[in-house]
Chain A
Amino acid sequence: MPPTNNNTTIDAGEPTSEDQLTHIRRSSLALDPAWDAETNSLRHLGDLDDDDLIPIAYFPLKANLNEAPKTKQEGLHPSASAGDVSAYSQGSSDDIWQNVPMGAPDAILGIAQAYRQCEDPRKVNVCVGAYRDDAGKSYVLPSVRAAEKMLWESQEPKEYLPIEGDKDFVRCALKFAYGPNMDIDTHVAAVQTLSGTGACAIGGRFLAQFWKNHPIYVPDPTWSNHISIFNQCGLDCRKYRYYNRSTNALDLEGMLKDLNRAKDGSIFLLHACAHNPTGCDPSLEQWKEVIDVVRQKHHVCFFDSAYQGFASGNAEVDAQAFRYAVSQHVPILLAQSFAKNFGLYGERVGTLSVVCGDAEQRDHILSELRLIIRPLYSSPPRHGSSIVKTVLMDPALKEQYYEECAGMALRIQKMRVKLVQALQKAGSQHDWSHITGQIGMFAFTGMNEAMCQQLTDEFSIYLTMNGRISMAGLNQKNLEYVAASIHVVTDGKSISL
């Protein structure tokens, strides 16, 4: 059983008083998988999206710098000591930055960077967070290229977008997500955002303001940045059981229990498909069970949809979970990213939508979302959204796009099958069916930290230490080698807890 954290009691408590929020923020921080309590700093888990070596620390105030490191219980967080400005009363203006600490050296230092610096000719990068083709190259979808060309030729202006973003883009994006049968003008308040992160950040702030004193539950495990995002939004972030490491499968029972035990109206973050990092999704039947409980408990669902079309290869299938929730009149928020499915990673394209009762609510919610965005960055960047709308509004390009996206998904699925075959061929006795059972970019192999370390040290295979490998990093050339190496490090040992 995974070790339990004393601070993660999930129970339907009384509404939290303001006094308790400080304590909750401390313990929320302790939930952050990257939080290193000994050094009071954030470790970076080498999250796939970063190539940087990022030393990270929270500011301890000057008074605390010389003290012994705090225990987890007293986890340091700036907001915990709000109001203590003694650090600034001392020192001259020359010293204003002198108390800024450099973060503790990362335990899992910039994996992508380590990969780049590695000189071993056998090296393999399976921590990459972006799709790679079969030659291991980054891939710009031809439909996207074509759209870019069209934009260039049309001499697009560079004016500010409205605060809520490009209206046409948002319409296309919502149709893509909710399908043709949703009355988006009446029931969906939506804004353009900076990809999925931006959508979660806006949605989180919205909930912190307008759904006060309701905790947000994220799956265990989840994308590490989720917890940082919701902490920054000021939400009380907790976990719900999701993945069973002893069976390498969904812990539906635990998940349903935690849904029931949470107080009514809690917020549940759900990965719409291709769960990151486990790749383990509920089946449609299982989703129905989940949504059933959600409805009874009047929970709010915050869906994070980062892989629509990219998971199964079928954009409608990948949207089933949240579409079903909508059909059951469960209030949902949807964070939508076009980073993976359109390959527009660096252009930061996404939306946040709130499904609501009528057009009046819609207008009101939209007005509040704008108030959140304006002091954050005023208006979103237009290049990526222009590309997406150009593709989706052109019938031929749209069709081409769907094929290309499916192509990416299929290659990944093929790699899953071939990896398991290669593992068996290498002589592995383990049951690797979870690899073919999982979906999306990542496979949660079940390998432990020691095995992962060995994979990197001995075989120059770069992955994150939680056993997650990026299927996008596998190709015909490196598949056998990776399988053989995984076999060596796992032979005779357990790949489940």
Chain B
Amino acid sequence: MAMNALSRCSNQLRRLPLTRLRQMSTSPWSFFEMAPLDPIIGLNEQFQKDDYPSKVIVGVGAYRDEKGKPFVLPSVRKAEKILAEGGLDMEYAGIAGEPRFVDLALEFAYGEDSAALKEGRIQGVQALSGTGGLRVFGEMMKKHGSTTLYLPNPSWGNHKNIFTNSGLEVKNYRYYDADNSSLDFEGMVHDIKSMPAGSIVLLHACAHNPTGMDPTLEQWKELSSVIKEQDLVTFFDCAYQGFASGDASKDAAAIRMFVEDGHLISMVQSFSKNFGLYGQRVGALSVVGRDAEEAKKVVSQMKTVIRPMYSNPPRHGARLVTTILEDPQLTAEFREECKGMADRINTMRGALKDSLESAGSTRDWSHITDQIGMFAYSGLSNEQVLEMRAKHHVYCTGDGRISMAGVTSDNVDYIANAIHDVAK
């Protein structure tokens, strides 16, 4: 919206005679207005400005330990030490990033037993975490003639932003049944069947953001056969592998099923949450082709998008992941630590539900424990969220999404009381 207002402004300015322009200002930027704050990241800024001593933020999807502190995985610290002692150079990685990192990343997602992987049919590039991979994919598909991409309703707030900026038309398929706090599977299947040929359908691989509602394995099976009947581009966003159930292989079940069933999927992986490498921007974008040649061609096209965007990806985070996944011992430790994070979150889900009931709430909060992953879709309305912010200084995003990672045994009762107060 801001963009349109500004282009109207600049159009009007352009029609002015040049002399008038010169009189107005020597700066080309003088007619600017303030752009709106990002709904998720802007929340943090609001929170920072709040002076209330008991303020709590459960907004951004970044894991916190039971003390509410940021958590660097011990296996990551060990990998850091190895790197620090290794005295590695800082030369450019290739446009696609380090091949070794890409191989390990793909193995992590598709499974080292994957036939398609062994045949070389799965190829990929290092990406700037999830966002970067999504944007490269969007731009590449737009160049390739795609026009429309379907997101589940609801989806991560930045999805629409990314794909709209890629030049794609973004539409929704039914996903969440708000009335019943459950998956609207029938609606989802119906909408997928109605998608025009050539559409891109984006699926959350696990731990759907923001609802935490995932299809069951049976439902995934049905989705696979439904999509097989269609002429669609199937794209997975995999941001929580290992972090959802605590088991990285289990969390990749849907992806692996689709590849087994013969779908030529593409996928973006983020290592922000499961490896705790948020600020390092580590991810991967991959594609499954009919053969290795085909997959390589698609990768070559990914590179043409990347090169003018940022040339090549940052090395440090990728090196950390490589160091861990190359070492069986470190990998085992990592999986334990990741599971630990997932377990703590599940514990907090139970604690929040119990605390809500203790606070006297008679509403049905079972969706909080039914959901999976970092977020709980509380069911609070926007008004209730704003009231909670103003009255109790508890910050969550306007759609009622609570980052369970921010809930601790110290603040769970406070949060429960706040929710109960605005929701009763």
A-side residues, CB < 8 A to B, are: 15, 42, 49-52, 54-59, 61, 78, 81, 83-85, 87-89, 91-94, 96-98, 100-103, 129-130, 138, 140, 144-145, 148-149, 152, 155, 157-163, 194-195, 197-198, 201, 209-213, 225, 228-229, 231-232, 264-265, 298, 300, 329, 331, 339, 343-348, 354, 356-357, 361, 363-365, 367-368, 370-371, 374-384
What A residues does B276 contact at CB under 8 A? 158
Bound together, the chains give a CA A468 to CA B48 distance in angstroms of 52
What B residues does A57 contact at CB under 8 A? 300-301, 304
A-B contact pairs, 9 of them (CB 8 A): A59-B143, A81-B145, A93-B231, A102-B300, A145-B87, A160-B60, A346-B312, A347-B315, A378-B130
Map CB proximity to A onto B1-33 as digits: 1 under 8 Å, 0 otherwise: 011001100110010001001100111111011
The smallest beta-carbon distance between B205 and chain A, in angstroms, is 19
Bound together, the chains give a CA A229 to CA B84 distance in angstroms of 34
Pair B33/A364 contact, Cβ less than 8 Å: yes
Map CB proximity to A onto B301-337 as digits: 1 under 8 Å, 0 otherwise: 1011101111111111100000000000000000000
What A residues does B62 contact at CB under 8 A? 159-160
Our pick among A51, A152, A198, A213 for the contact of B80 (Cβ within 8 Å) is A152
Our pick among A87, A348, A364, A367 for the contact of B310 (Cβ within 8 Å) is A348
B38 on the A face (CB < 8 A): yes
What A residues does B2 contact at CB under 8 A? 368, 371
Q: Pick the most buried of A87, A365, A375: most chain B CB atoms within 10 A of its CB.
A: A375
Within 8 A of A (CB), among B61-102: 62, 70, 72, 76-77, 80-81, 84, 87, 89-96
What B residues does A354 contact at CB under 8 A? 29
B189 on the A face (CB < 8 A): no
Q: A367-B37, A378-B131 are in contact. List 9 more A-B contacts (CB 8 A).
A: A15-B14, A78-B143, A88-B231, A92-B231, A345-B90, A361-B27, A377-B281, A378-B132, A381-B316
The smallest beta-carbon distance between A407 and chain B, in angstroms, is 17
B287 on the A face (CB < 8 A): yes
Our pick among B33, B60, B146, B317 for the contact of A383 (Cβ within 8 Å) is B317
Our pick among A58, A97, A231 for the contact of B287 (Cβ within 8 Å) is A97
Q: Pick the most buried of B28, B76, B94: most chain A CB atoms within 10 A of its CB.
A: B28
The smallest beta-carbon distance between A455 and chain B, in angstroms, is 24
Bound together, the chains give a CA A104 to CA B298 distance in angstroms of 14
Within 8 A of A (CB), among B277-307: 277-281, 287, 289-290, 293-298, 300-301, 303-305, 307
What B residues does A363 contact at CB under 8 A? 34
Map CB proximity to A onto B186-206 as digits: 1 under 8 Å, 0 otherwise: 000000000001100000000
Our pick among B76, B135, B294 for the contact of A100 (Cβ within 8 Å) is B294
Q: Pick the most buried of A55, A93, A228, A363: most chain B CB atoms within 10 A of its CB.
A: A93
Pair B233/A96 contact, Cβ less than 8 Å: yes
B-side residues, CB < 8 A to A, are: 2-3, 6-7, 10-11, 14, 18, 21-22, 25-30, 32-38, 41, 60, 62, 70, 72, 76-77, 80-81, 84, 87, 89-96, 128-132, 135, 139, 142-147, 158, 161-162, 164-165, 197-198, 227-228, 230-234, 262-264, 272, 276-281, 287, 289-290, 293-298, 300-301, 303-305, 307-317
Our pick among A92, A210, A344, A378 for the contact of B6 (Cβ within 8 Å) is A210
Pair B70/A331 contact, Cβ less than 8 Å: no
What B residues does A212 contact at CB under 8 A? 7, 10-11
Task: Give the nearest-CB partner of B282 in chain A.
Answer: A381
The smallest beta-carbon distance between B198 and chain A, in angstroms, is 3
The smallest beta-carbon distance between B51 and chain A, in angstroms, is 20
Our pick among B11, B22, B290 for the contact of A98 (Cβ within 8 Å) is B290
What A residues does B18 contact at CB under 8 A? 264
Known A225-B307, A368-B32, A383-B316: A346·B60 in contact at CB below 8 Å: no
Pair B311/A49 contact, Cβ less than 8 Å: yes
Pair B94/A163 contact, Cβ less than 8 Å: no
Known A78-B143, A356-B29: A209·B301 in contact at CB below 8 Å: no
Task: Give the nearest-CB partner of B164 in chain A.
Answer: A375
Pair A347/B90 contact, Cβ less than 8 Å: yes
Pair A231/B308 contact, Cβ less than 8 Å: yes
What B residues does A55 contact at CB under 8 A? 300
What B residues does A382 contact at CB under 8 A? 279-280
What B residues does A197 contact at CB under 8 A? 307-311
Bound together, the chains give a CA A138 to CA B89 distance in angstroms of 7
Pair A377/B34 contact, Cβ less than 8 Å: no
Task: Give the nearest-CB partner of B232 in chain A.
Answer: A93
Pair A161/B279 contact, Cβ less than 8 Å: yes
What B residues does A370 contact at CB under 8 A? 35, 38
Our pick among B25, B81, B90, B289 for the contact of A344 (Cβ within 8 Å) is B90
What A residues does B164 contact at CB under 8 A? 375
Bound together, the chains give a CA A15 to CA B132 distance in angstroms of 34
The smallest beta-carbon distance between B195 and chain A, in angstroms, is 11
Pair B145/A78 contact, Cβ less than 8 Å: yes
Our pick among B10, B60, B92, B129 for the contact of A377 (Cβ within 8 Å) is B129
Task: Give the nearest-CB partner of A300 in chain B.
Answer: B28
Total contacts A-B at CB 8 Å:
290
Known A91-B231, A356-B29: A225·B308 in contact at CB below 8 Å: yes
Our pick among A195, A225, A331, A378 for the contact of B27 (Cβ within 8 Å) is A331
Q: Pick the most buried of A144, A209, A300: most chain B CB atoms within 10 A of its CB.
A: A209
Pair B84/A361 contact, Cβ less than 8 Å: no
Known A198-B310, A212-B10, A375-B131: A155·B77 in contact at CB below 8 Å: yes
What B residues does A377 contact at CB under 8 A? 128-129, 131-132, 135, 281, 310
Pair A375/B289 contact, Cβ less than 8 Å: no
Bound together, the chains give a CA A395 to CA B284 distance in angstroms of 39
The smallest beta-carbon distance between A166 and chain B, in angstroms, is 9
Bound together, the chains give a CA A87 to CA B233 distance in angstroms of 13
Known A59-B144, A212-B7, A212-B10: A129·B92 in contact at CB below 8 Å: yes
Our pick among B94, B128, B147, B230 for the contact of A85 (Cβ within 8 Å) is B147
Pair B298/A97 contact, Cβ less than 8 Å: yes
What B residues does A149 contact at CB under 8 A? 84
The smallest beta-carbon distance between B155 and chain A, in angstroms, is 14
What A residues does B304 contact at CB under 8 A? 42, 56-58
Pair A96/B264 contact, Cβ less than 8 Å: yes
What B residues does A380 contact at CB under 8 A? 281
Bound together, the chains give a CA A345 to CA B276 distance in angstroms of 24
Our pick among A161, A361, A375 for the contact of B158 (Cβ within 8 Å) is A375
The smallest beta-carbon distance between A147 and chain B, in angstroms, is 11
Our pick among B29, B313, B317 for the contact of A357 (Cβ within 8 Å) is B29
Our pick among A51, A194, A339 for the contact of B94 (Cβ within 8 Å) is A51
Pair B287/A345 contact, Cβ less than 8 Å: no
The smallest beta-carbon distance between A9 and chain B, in angstroms, is 21
Pair B10/A211 contact, Cβ less than 8 Å: yes
Bound together, the chains give a CA A209 to CA B76 distance in angstroms of 40
Pair A381/B280 contact, Cβ less than 8 Å: yes
Task: Give the nearest-CB partner of A86 in chain B.
Answer: B145
Pair A194/B311 contact, Cβ less than 8 Å: yes
Pair A331/B28 contact, Cβ less than 8 Å: yes
What A residues does B27 contact at CB under 8 A? 331, 356-357, 361
Task: Give the nearest-CB partner of A77 in chain B.
Answer: B143
Pair B41/A163 contact, Cβ less than 8 Å: yes
Pair A384/B314 contact, Cβ less than 8 Å: yes
Pair B144/A329 contact, Cβ less than 8 Å: no
Bound together, the chains give a CA A127 to CA B62 distance in angstroms of 43
What A residues does B90 contact at CB under 8 A? 138, 140, 144, 343-347
Task: Give the nearest-CB partner of B300 in chain A.
Answer: A55
Q: Pick the most buried of A58, A84, A159, A380: most chain B CB atoms within 10 A of its CB.
A: A159
Pair B280/A346 contact, Cβ less than 8 Å: no
Bound together, the chains give a CA A129 to CA B95 distance in angstroms of 14
What A residues does B6 contact at CB under 8 A? 209-210
Known A93-B264, A140-B89: A98·B317 in contact at CB below 8 Å: no
Pair B158/A383 contact, Cβ less than 8 Å: no
Q: Pick the most buried of A100, A343, A368: most chain B CB atoms within 10 A of its CB.
A: A100
Known A361-B30, A374-B161, A377-B129: A52·B95 in contact at CB below 8 Å: yes
